[in-house]
Amino acid sequence: MTRAFLLLIAMLVVGGVLVYSGVLGRDSGAAPVEVSAAAAAGAEAKLEALREEGEEARLNDVELTSLLRYRPDLWSFSAVIEPEVALRADTIQLTGSVLTDQLPADAELDQFRFLLPDTTRVSVAGTLIPGAPGVATVQVTSIEAAGMPVPPRYYPMILDRLGSDDVLPRDAIALPLPEAAGSARVENGELIITP
């Protein structure tokens, strides 16, 4: 069952954490924004200004959630149901559900698949740490599945399945930033992407 559990976590990480590198933040003084197609379009406009004019992009968690939900063809690599991003201080958290029947075939999982619910809620949290230009390095600080914490000793195993780089800390993964982005940092609930 441990291997099946790791596969479930890996599916969410592939579907969500890879997306963190491209978008997030909160504009201070702005009116609250709802998760919507309009919020996704606004976030894309900020990223376009970064590419074309070299403007720093500040995107909030609502904009990132909107990109994941309304532009999954561009911003997601897996079928995560109702993905949601939360930014608190310097932490990025992605929560979403994964369909059990979309998990890859696995002998251990197949023995217990009928006991699993149709979907399982998974949450991954991390912080951005300094890395190479054009790359965001996310250090995973917590993973939960169905409300249960995954012990940190399993993080390297999960990240290794995603092709984690040997140069990185064992609990971190490098993610490409959007075109023309040099670096990204999270401050006060904003992801700030700079040229």
pLDDT band at 53 (very low <50, low <70, confident <90, very high): very high
Q: What's the CA gap between 8 and 2, in Å, rounded?
A: 10
φ and ψ at 193, to 5 degrees?
-105, 125
Report the pLDDT value the prediction gives residue 63, as an integer from 0 to 100: 93
Least confident of 8-12, 40-44, 52-56, 147-151: 8-12
Q: Is the dihedral of CA 26, 82, 16, 51 positive or negative?
A: negative
**Which residues sit opposite 149 in a β-bridge?**
144
Task: State the CB neighbour count (10 A cutoff) for residue 77.
Answer: 13
Report the pLDDT value the prediction gives residue 3, as an integer from 0 to 100: 45
**pTM as predicted:** 0.72
Q: What is the mean pLDDT of residues 74-78?
A: 62
Strands (E), 45-171: 57-59, 80-88, 91-99, 119-129, 135-145, 148-149
